[in-house]
Structure 1
Amino acid sequence: MATTQTQRLGILAALALVMAATRMHHFDALPDASWGIFFLAGFWLRGSARWAFPLLMAEAVLVDYIAITHMGINFWSHYCVSAGYWFLVPAYGALWLGGSWLAKHHAGLRLSTLALAAAALLVSENLCYLISNGSFYWLSAHVPAPRSFGAWFQNMGDWYLPFLQTTALYVGLGAVLHVLAVQIAHVARQQGRTQH
């Protein structure tokens, strides 16, 4: 939604800062904002996916690497790093596409936009969760055999709501900031017109 390159870079920097602060688990009270960051980036940085998405992905991997090695653990032997780890690219891509789709189809600050936002978020969250959880379950050596669809569904159920709630919380905060920014810009334009 940003119109200038400077605005896009500023938004990317702010999103990257929030992701780094929450993904590193420096502040245990703050859950990881990564899923919300990718959805919001897709919305605010629509049309910049060629450079912004790879930068955010690289940051996510770098933060994971720093956090894991800081604990004295080899990155490649950590519980969360498996062949499934690389499926975070399409998983986060689903969130980005959901935000981008919303940016293309929203009609300003209206009630219909809220319904579109909820639908886009729910679909992209579910797709992200299916890819990330499924790839970990089916590809990780840390999941004990024998594997089954029943056990996978049980595993999905254990983490499903917390992931969706956390993402919705961060996207909701982003939506509030968006509404405030739109209103402030509108008031500034109105004041500019009355002064001329």
Structure 2
Amino acid sequence: MTTKPYTQIAIFVLLALLMLSTRYAHFAQLPDASWAVFFAGGFYFRGRGGLAVFAALMLEAVAIDAAVIHYLGVSNFCVTAAYPFLVPTHGALWLAGAWTRRHYRWDASSALQFALAAVIAVHLAYAISNASFYWLGGRYAQPNVGEYLQRFVRYYPHFMEVTLGYLAILGVLHLAAASQLPQLRPAGAAPRSA
């Protein structure tokens, strides 16, 4: 899959807009699509250009968080000493997207690999972000394993459902676009017949 520069710019803009339109709300209105954006970014962008896109999306995420805290009065509860762990959190999602791209074959096994990579990536991302927030964030007076596990289980389904939901939508949109745009298909793959 070799995308043309204008296609890459369009994909970047769409992913950035998706994050911008959802990140500020987190649990209200549209759920936060950031994790799906980073997974998709890893799928669509590679090499040095991919690193630049990852950095740009990270800067966007931080800028959105700063803006909504400073200008919209959103709570800064999640901004702690653990905040830098968003880099490996988003990095895990990005790498899973990149792995998915390398194994993308435009067939049913690709869909299964996509789903499996997404589940594993979300699980790993959640483990990184949740553990760093709980154990290093300083928001809990006496952190302990029991409370940590309760909180892990309480919030885990939300992050899994939201991210997988967005990725399912993005996957369907990708397949629809790839049926019309050969650059979104692996090299040599023929369009699917309806």
- With normalisation by structure 1, the TM-score equals 0.87
- Alignment of 1:140 onto 2:140: no
Return the offset for 1:72: 4.2
Q: Which stretch shifts more, 166-175 or 42-51?
A: 42-51
**Equivalent pair of 2:92/2:121 in contact (CA under 8 Å):** yes
**AA aligned opposite 2:113:** L
Q: In structure 2, what is the Cα distance between the partners aligned to 1:171 and 1:120? A: 11
For the 8 Å contact 2:33–2:162, the answer to whether it is kept is yes
- Which structure shows the higher helix fraction? 1
Contact kept in structure 2, 1:102 and 1:116, CA below 8 Å: yes
Give the corresponding residue for 1:193: none
Match of 2:181 among 175, 181, 185: 185
* Matching of residues 109-124 of structure 1 within 5 Å: 110-124=107-121
SS of equivalent residue, structure 1 residue 83: coil
Aligned to 2:34: 34
Aligned amino acid, residue 139 of structure 1: L
Evaluate the alpha carbon distance shift between residue 70 and residue 2 of structure 1 in structure 2; reply closer, same or farther with a 3 A threshold. farther
Q: Match for 1:143: what amino acid?
A: Y
Deviations 1:121-178 (A, max 9, x none): 0111111000000000001121221x11222111100100010000001101100110
Deviations 1:79-137 (A, max 9, x none): 111111110000000000000000001211x1111110111101111110000000000
Equivalent in the alignment of 1:191 = none
Structure 1 residue 2, shift from structure 2 partner: 5.2
Equivalent residue for 1:170, pick from 161, 166, 181: 166
Q: Structure 1 counterpart of 2:96, which letter?
A: G
Q: Secondary structure at the match of 2:7?
A: helix
Shift of 1:26: 9.7
Pair 15,162 (structure 1): closer, same or farther in 2 beyond 3 Å: same
Equivalence for 1:66 = 67
Unaligned runs of 5+ in 1: 187-196
What is the aligned-residue RMSD (CA, Å)? 1.8
Partner of 1:45: 45
CA distance in 2, matches of 1:180, 1:93: 27
CA contact (8 A) 1:2 1:8 kept: no
Which residues of structure 2 form unaligned runs of 5+?
A: 183-194
State the Cα deviation string for residues 3-54 of structure 1 (Å, max 9, x = none).
2222212111110011001012299321000001000111112333220000
CA contact (8 A) 2:26 2:32 kept: no
Structure 1 Cα separation of the partners of residues 98 and 112 of structure 2? 15
Q: 1:81 to 1:27 in 2, by over 3 A?
A: closer
Bigger Rg over Cα: 1
1:161 paired residue number: 157
Structure 2 vs 1, CA of residues 139 and 180 (structure 1 numbering), >3 Å: closer, same or farther? Answer: same
Task: Please list every run of at least 4 consecutive aligned residues from structure 1 whose deviation after the TM superposition is greater than 3 angstroms.
Answer: none
Task: Answer with 81-90 or 18-27: which moved more.
Answer: 18-27
**For residue 127 of structure 2, what is the aligned residue in structure 1?**
130
